[in-house]
Amino acid sequence: MEAYITIKDVLNAIRKNGYKKIQGSYYEYVESNRTNWERPYETATGACAFGQAALNLGMHNANDLDERVGHSNINIDFIPINQHIRRLNDMTEMTLPEIADVVERQLTQEELSKVI
């Protein structure tokens, strides 16, 4: 049985730990700076917002988490929340905790408590 995860849990997982923030991929690895979105093993040296959240939530695939958040039907400025998080990750110099803080301020308590 899959654990219940809320949008607030995802944002807290984005804040947690200190992987180096990367852009354009879910993970970065030691070996030749190789990136891959479905191998969150111990060799990961960097992660994007969804990569870090997936690792912290014990999920094996950041793409699955990204899609689950997208299926929440929560929008920020008419943009699905998962796309908004990816844009903040890939198009700004914000840290991962800053991204989580910005998104959290833009959501209602009802949206934050939505189970995905």
Q: What is the pLDDT of residues 33-49, one digit of tens each?
A: 555 545 555 567 788 99
Q: Per the domain annotation, does 11 fall within a domain?
A: yes
Query: Is 92 domain-assigned?
Result: yes
Q: Which DSSP string corresponds to 66-80?
A: HHHHHTT--EETTEE
**Residue 32 domain flag:** no
Residue 73 lies in a domain: yes
- Please report where in the chains the tokens 């803080």 appear, as a residue: 101
According to DSSP H, which parts of the chain are helical? 7-15, 49-56, 62-70, 81-91, 96-105, 109-112
pLDDT given for residue 2 in this prediction: 58
Position 56 in a domain? yes
pLDDT at 41: 54
Q: What percent of the chain has pLDDT over 90?
A: 66
pTM of the predicted model as reported, rounded to 2 decimal places:
0.87
Domain span holding position 107: 7-18+50-112
Q: Which of 92, 39, 44 is closest to 62 using CA atoms?
A: 39
- From 8-17, 28-37, 96-105, the region with the lowest mean pLDDT: 28-37
Residue 39 lies in a domain: no
Number of structural domains found in the chain: 1
* 1 within a domain of the structure (yes/no): no
In a domain, 58, yes or no: yes
- In whole angstroms, give the CA distance from residue 47 to residue 34: 12
Identity at 64, one-letter amino acid code: D
